[in-house]
Amino acid sequence: MKIVVIGNGMVGYKFCEKLRAKLPFEEAELIVFGEEPRVAYDRVHLTDYFTHASPNELEMQPRSWYNEQHIILYTGDPVVQIDRENKVVHSYKGREESYDYLVLATGSSAFVPPLPGIEKEGVFVYRTIEDLELIKDYAPKATQAAVMGGGLLGLEAAKALLDLGVQNTHVIEYASRLMPRQIDHNGHLVLQSKLAALGLEIHTNKAAIEITGAQAITGIQFADESTMELDLLIISAGIKPRDELAKLAGLETGSRGGIIVNDHMQTTDPHIFAIGECALHKGMIYGLVAPGYEMAEVAASTIIDEPIQFNGFDMSTKLKLIGVDVASFGDPFPPSTEFRAIVFEDSLQGIYKRINVSNDGKYLLGGILIGDAADYNMLLQTTKNKIQLPLNPQDILIGPRGEGAQNAGVQNLPNDAIVCSCESVTKGDIVAAVKNGHETFNAVKKCTKAGSCCGGCTPMVKDIIQYTMIAEGKYIRNVVCEHFQYSRQELFDLIKIKNLHAYDEVLDTYGHGDGCEICKPVISSIIASLWNDMILQKGNETAQDSNDRFLANIQKGGTYSVVPRIPGGEITPQKLAVIAAVAEKYNLYTKITGGQRIDMFGAHVNDLPNIWQELIAAGFESGHAYGKALRTVKSCVGSTWCRFGLHDSVSFAIRVEERYRGLRAPHKMKSAVSGCIRECAEAQSKDFGIIATDKGWNLYVCGNGGSKPQHAKLLAADLDSDTCIRYIDRFLMFYIKTADPLTRTATWLNKLDGGIEYLRNVVVNDSLGVAAELEASMQHLVDHYKCEWREVVENPALRKRFSHFVNAPAEKDPTVNFEQMRDQKRAVEWK
Amino acid sequence: MSSEFSWFLACRVQDVPANGGVCVKYANTQIALFHFTRTGQWFATQNLCPHKHQMALSRGMIGSHAGEPKVACPFHKKTFSLKDGRCISDETECHIQTYPVRIEGDDIFIGFTAQPAFIQTSTH
Ligand code: SRM
Ligand SMILES: Cc1cc2nc3c(=O)[nH]c(=O)nc-3n(C[C@H](O)[C@H](O)[C@H](O)COP(=O)(O)OP(=O)(O)OC[C@H]3O[C@@H](n4cnc5c(N)ncnc54)[C@H](O)[C@@H]3O)c2cc1C
Ligand code: SF4
Ligand code: FES
């Protein structure tokens, strides 16, 4: 049998993969014509081209794959004619190939409205790698850019323009709202304000009538007589199925484009199939990749005589990349008589959720999520699998959150629920893979292909793996790395019981090999959290993360930063003068940090001990800015000056910072104390934060700034100062004992079974009976605190390690270079 | 010892921290020297990390990956084989130059095939 495929896009490629899995090369010749110069690539992740330098990373498979699979691939050679009578295709470069079956996977092109001036320089479409190359080259010249079309793709393109550094980016939409096919008007309003915050200006109800400019675009003229100045325009106004070849061959096409196919993806010529974005099935063009993959499966099965049917496809989508969650699933707009909508809106946080529930309240029909689409997978599955809703359907919108809750959801899914719709992988497939020993996400992905396309199902796949392993009675071993078959928590207990104080002892007793950059810092941190010995002694120096080893953060160019502790952010003029003098003497860049202290940058490694010697002499100590340790305890000025202050927040912040200074933990920890609920110290964004009330202190825990901000949760209210400290002791030690490596308190709490209620029980109600032990462990650490920089300064053997050249200790690294900027120095840019 | 190398006296055993590295000045280039105390092995490589051209490898953590000795750059934790200089964590990253090491009593020598002036420290 001989099969010819026209088009080497995502769906054409998928067809080859599926066909080869069913028919080995001995039984079927497979020939592919592609018009683009490259082998098929992942168009869904096209925008990544702007961040990944090489297009190779987007390839579905390298060219060698086609050879291995015995597929003849002609790229850069479009088919120009189909001779149906003789069953032969003719290519642009003059090739001729006969076929038994022909598969059209010609995709679509961007629809460009026929406006006067649309051909001007600076007007682009967004479809191929070449399009993006052109945009990337042009963008640096542009200061005003717009995307025409506020759909899924248009918004993605607009965000890309922002990321390319275009200052003013607009989105122009003809309809009265963004993403008109996916979201409703209220959703649009929330989305619009979120996009505005990102820097995108949105214009709806705007019909362009002309593109103005001489050679290059300078603006747009609209039907409402307004104009907009522009020097770059991306058209994203929809897609146009590429049916020109099919038309020429006399195959039936739709009046608005698309090659008409039946349920087996056959065109009006049963030897010719059409799949992907060029196919018109029951009046519908599917502009998404998952239905295209399903069509590839249907066509391949029909060709091997095991016909299956294409029954339409769900158009649920989740917007990626844009920095705002937007998803629509199932039917976002069912006929008004058939459903009741439940809406949840939080305009403060920019969250809008709407679910459409069947009239009897039993089933979910579809919905819209904006601002928070964490539940997308679960809701989609609930819709698709007709899972019965709880008595109060609103519970699924505002019910319990967090990992535990998600897991429970996975349990209720039927085995045939499609979890990865791109690759049609069911829950049953994943469970079976796990039972066959594929126990990590990567192993499951390799074996089932789940999560290998758009990646949207990744969290759910991980949940299913975990749930299956637990159901199998398997203890989930979260081992540290190849050198230790133990979790961090197990190692913590073992090191404590065996009273080990050095990394090498731990490796000898419980590990094998030479260790690595993962287990060394983990174990060093455990040792420090248990005993609070000086970290550079007992042979532990080289087991420290490299910043800890030099007691400073390494910066661009190889110099270091110096951050003395300034407890609570309070500092005397005299001490400020010392910092100024030291910075001047050693030529350091100075900056006030976001943590209420002063950072001095650009210190040569040889200068570090001398700098610290001077700082220590003036009463400073290490600020541990380099360690996974307590960083700063910020304070607001509090009742000593502020007219609203309820208590003295500065004094309490200093007390807290001095108690926990130098405390090492699985990740860094931050804290703050505010004098009243106006919260000027931002305590609710900290690992532990304290806010004065008229009766005492409220203690909040597990907040986080960083890339995934999370508000801290109230652990206990109206505490007196000593109780507050006792609770913090317990909380911190419990975290230190049980958290995974590099897990901040917020992430730790999200994974903790039972969440904040459980934590409150342990810390406040002592439900595990460990409170006294936790407090004692903390007291031990507090009693053994020493400033580690003082120890280096006073110890010649330790000082000696702070040199750049072992054979020329007095010389500085000659490759270090600085530039001038605003009267200070800066590191030169790296290449 | 093989005569194709000229041997440069870098430092003494006790100058190098156990299971760690130091940077050796050799004419106007920089060499990273590592000591695996547990197994008694020594390795030398260029000190320049090819990723962002930082003189940093000697300050990295050393260890093994499936038995192969490696160093992790302090900047972005790319790891390099100390045997053949290959970047283990990222196939597309450049290799680093490795050099033979010889111990005589307490003295450590690094072997070079070219005159100092010809030594390449940058692979880009
Ligand atoms: C200096 C400073 C920026 C500034 O100029 O203001 C800074 C600088 C660095 N931050 Fe930060 N962060 C600084 C305040 C913050 C804050 C604000 C705050 O603390 O109030 C945050 C968000 C709050 C939070 O952590 O929850 C912050 C979130 C991060 C994160 C993300 C943490 C997360 O959980 O997502 C990292 C990365 C990490 O730790 O893994 C980071 C890492 C870094 C590192 C250490 C990156 C590195 O490895 O080289 C930077 C080098 C510091 C140095 O001295 O060489 N920095 N960093 C601030 C020092 C505060 C201080 O006095 O110690
Ligand atoms: C920026 C961007 C983001 C997207 N994001 C998503 C997303 O998040 N989720 C999602 O589901 N979908 C997304 N899509 C849509 C998805 O990429 C398409 O649905 C999918 O690529 C369609 O595959 P296809 O093979 O049918 O068409 P294509 O991938 O377009 O492939 C068709 C190929 O056929 C070639 N061809 C045409 N005519 C001929 C001829 N005569 N001879 C030889 N070759 C020919 C074309 O040059 C092209 O290479 C996105 C698309 C873009 C552009
Ligand atoms: S925000 Fe990023 S760039 Fe700025 S200091 Fe923190 S880590 Fe460095
Ligand atoms: S500079 Fe070495 S890993 Fe980036």
Q: What is the per-residue pLDDT for B114?
A: 64
DSSP assignment letter at A193: H
- The model's pLDDT over B78-96, given as tens digits with 9 standing for 90+, comes to 999 999 999 988 777 788 9
Q: Which of A684-693, A761-770, B2-11 has the highest mean pLDDT?
A: A684-693
- With cut-offs at 50, 70 and 90, classify the pLDDT of residue A404: very low
A 10 A CB-CB count for A112 gives 15
- With cut-offs at 50, 70 and 90, classify the pLDDT of residue A399: low
Look up tokens 């058939």; give the residue: A338
pLDDT(A362) > 80: yes
Task: Tell me if A553 CB under 6 Å of ligand 1.
Answer: yes
Taken as a whole, chain B contains a residue count of 124
Could you tell me the strand order of the sheet in which A351-358 lies? A317-319, A326-330, A364-370, A351-358, A339-346
Element (H or E) spanning A4, and its range? strand A2-6
* Ligand 1: centre distance to CA A461 (Å): 32
Strands A272-274 and A200-203: unpaired
Q: Measure in Å the smallest separation between the Cα of A742 and chain B Cα atoms.
A: 15
Contact across the interface for A813 and B55, Cβ inside 8 Å: yes
Task: Tell me if A403 CB under 6 Å of ligand 2.
Answer: no
Q: What is the per-residue pLDDT for A53?
A: 61
Domains of chain A, first to last? 2-109+241-303 (3.50.50.60), 123-237 (3.50.50.60), 411-476 (1.10.10.1100), 488-544 (no CATH), 556-783 (3.30.413.10)
A 10 A CB-CB count for A446 gives 13
- The model's pLDDT over A42-97, given as tens digits with 9 standing for 90+, comes to 998 888 888 776 778 889 999 999 999 999 999 999 999 999 999 999 999 999 99
* Ligand 1: centre distance to CA A279 (Å): 51
Mutational pocket test of ligand 4: of B48, B52, B57, B88, the residue with most ligand atoms within 8 Å of the beta carbon: B52
Report the range of poorest mean pLDDT among A391-395, A666-670, A710-714, B117-121: B117-121
Look up tokens 């769906």; give the residue: A11
Contact across the interface for B61 and A830, Cβ inside 8 Å: no
- The model's pLDDT over A592-621, given as tens digits with 9 standing for 90+, comes to 999 999 999 999 999 999 999 999 999 999
What SS3 string covers A488-508?
Answer: HHHHHHHHHHCCCCCHHHHHH
CB A690, CB A697: distance < 8 Å: yes
Q: Which of A29-43, A325-339, A366-380, A530-544 has the highest mean pLDDT?
A: A29-43
- Among B8, B34, B54, B61, which would you mutate to test the A interface (most chain A Cβ atoms within 10 Å of its Cβ)? B61
Look up tokens 């499951």; give the residue: A444
Q: What is the per-residue pLDDT for B3?
A: 57
DSSP assignment of A230-285 equals -SEEEE-S-EEE--HHHHHTT--B-TTS-EEE-TTSB-SSTTEEE-GGGEEETTB-
CB A220, CB A228: distance < 8 Å: yes
Q: Average of pLDDT values for A824-828?
A: 87
**Cα atoms in the Cβ-side hemisphere of radius 13 Å centred on A711:** 4
Give the N- to C-terminal CA distance of chain B in Å, as an integer.
Answer: 32
- Among B12, B15, B19, B90, which would you mutate to test the A interface (most chain A Cβ atoms within 10 Å of its Cβ)? B19
Give, in degrees to the nearest 5, the angle at Cα A695 between A691 and A696: 45
A 10 A CB-CB count for A693 gives 14
CB A290, CB A268: distance < 8 Å: no
Please list the alpha-helical segments (H only) found in A400-440: 402-412, 427-435
Give which of A143, A140, A145 is closest to A158, Cα–Cα: A145
Report the range of poorest mean pLDDT among A263-272, A311-320, A433-442, A724-733: A311-320
Nearest 10 degrees: Cα torsion A283, A285, A286, A292:
100
CATH of domain B5-113: 2.102.10.10
Task: Tell me if A292 CB under 6 Å of ligand 2.
Answer: yes
- Ligand located closest to B79 CA: 4
Contact across the interface for A504 and B19, Cβ inside 8 Å: yes
* Ligand 3: centre distance to CA B53 (Å): 20
Calpha distance A538→A543 (Å, rounded): 11
Tell me the one-letter amino acid at A608: L
Task: Tell me if A628 CB under 6 Å of ligand 1.
Answer: no
- With cut-offs at 50, 70 and 90, classify the pLDDT of residue A394: confident
Contacts of A815 in chain B (CB under 8 A): 30, 55
Nearest CB to B54: which of A516, A519, A830?
A830
Give, in degrees to the nearest 5, the angle at Cα A649 between A644 and A654: 160
Q: Average of pLDDT values for A685-708?
A: 93
Calpha distance A650→A640 (Å, rounded): 8
- With cut-offs at 50, 70 and 90, classify the pLDDT of residue A320: low
Element (H or E) spanning A147, and its range? strand A144-148
pLDDT(A455) > 80: no
* Ligand 2: centre distance to CA A698 (Å): 56
- The model's pLDDT over A490-538, given as tens digits with 9 standing for 90+, comes to 899 889 888 899 999 999 999 999 999 999 999 999 999 999 889 998 8
Report the range of poorest mean pLDDT among A222-226, A282-286, A442-446, A661-665: A442-446
- Ligand located closest to A92 CA: 2
Nearest CB to B25: which of A513, A542, A811?
A811
pLDDT(A392) > 80: no
Calpha distance A110→A241 (Å, rounded): 9
Atom of ligand 4 nearest to the CA of B49: 2
CA-to-CA separations, A112 to A147, A245, A665, in angstroms, rounded: 12, 19, 57
Which pair of structure tokens corresponds to residue A91?
Answer: 């290519």
Q: Measure in Å the smallest separation between the Cα of A443 and chain B Cα atoms.
A: 19
Task: Tell me if A747 CB under 6 Å of ligand 1.
Answer: no
The CB-based long-range contact list for A744-747 (8 Å cut-off, 24+ gap) reads A744/A667, A744/A668, A744/A687, A744/A704, A744/A706, A745/A667, A745/A669, A745/A687, A745/A688, A745/A701, A745/A702, A745/A703, A745/A704, A746/A687, A746/A702, A746/A703, A746/A704, A746/A708, A746/A710, A746/A712, A747/A704
Q: What is the per-residue pLDDT for B60?
A: 96
Element (H or E) spanning A796, and its range? helix A796-800
Look up tokens 């990349």; give the residue: A321
Give the ipTM: 0.71
Contact across the interface for B33 and A806, Cβ inside 8 Å: yes
- With cut-offs at 50, 70 and 90, classify the pLDDT of residue A732: very high
CB A562, CB A603: distance < 8 Å: yes
Contact across the interface for A514 and B20, Cβ inside 8 Å: no
- Among A542, A548, A606, which would you mutate to test the B interface (most chain B Cβ atoms within 10 Å of its Cβ)? A542
Domain locations in chain B?
5-113
- Among A514, A520, A548, which would you mutate to test the B interface (most chain B Cβ atoms within 10 Å of its Cβ)? A514
CB A768, CB A762: distance < 8 Å: yes
Strands A29-33 and A79-83: unpaired
Question: Which residue, judged by its Cα, is nearest atom 56 of ligand 1?
Answer: A706
pLDDT(A158) > 70: yes
Contacts of A535 in chain B (CB under 8 A): none
Task: Tell me if A609 CB under 6 Å of ligand 2.
Answer: no
Check CB contact of B40 with chain A, cutoff 8 Å: no
Mutational pocket test of ligand 4: of B45, B71, B76, the residue with most ligand atoms within 8 Å of the beta carbon: B76
CB A690, CB A656: distance < 8 Å: yes
pLDDT(A445) > 80: yes
What SS3 string covers A270-296?
Answer: CCEEECHHHEEECCECCCCHHHHHHHH
Strands A101-104 and A272-274: parallel
Give which of A734, A665, A721 is closest to A692, Cα–Cα: A721
Which pair of structure tokens corresponds to residue A303?
Answer: 């060709």
* Ligand 4: centre distance to CA B78 (Å): 6
Contact across the interface for A807 and B61, Cβ inside 8 Å: no
DSSP assignment letter at B95: P
Question: Which residue, judged by its Cα, is nearest atom 3 of ligand 4?
Answer: B76
As a whole number of Å, the CA-based R_g of chain B is 14
Task: Tell me if A241 CB under 6 Å of ligand 2.
Answer: no
* Ligand 3: centre distance to CA B76 (Å): 14
- The model's pLDDT over A295-305, given as tens digits with 9 standing for 90+, comes to 999 999 999 99
- With cut-offs at 50, 70 and 90, classify the pLDDT of residue A403: very low
- With cut-offs at 50, 70 and 90, classify the pLDDT of residue A468: confident
Residue of B nearest to A550 (CA): B59
Nearest CB to A808: which of B25, B54, B124?
B25
Q: Measure in Å the smallest separation between the Cα of B1 and chain A Cα atoms.
A: 23
- The model's pLDDT over A633-684, given as tens digits with 9 standing for 90+, comes to 999 999 999 999 999 999 999 999 999 999 999 999 999 999 999 999 999 9
- Ligand located closest to A557 CA: 4
Query: What percent of chain A stands above pLDDT 90?
Result: 65
pLDDT(B118) > 80: no
- With cut-offs at 50, 70 and 90, classify the pLDDT of residue A321: low
User: Residues of A annotated as binding site for siroheme?
Assistant: 680
* Ligand 4: centre distance to CA A607 (Å): 23
Q: What is the per-residue pLDDT for B8?
A: 92
- With cut-offs at 50, 70 and 90, classify the pLDDT of residue A393: confident
What's chain A's average pLDDT?
Answer: 90
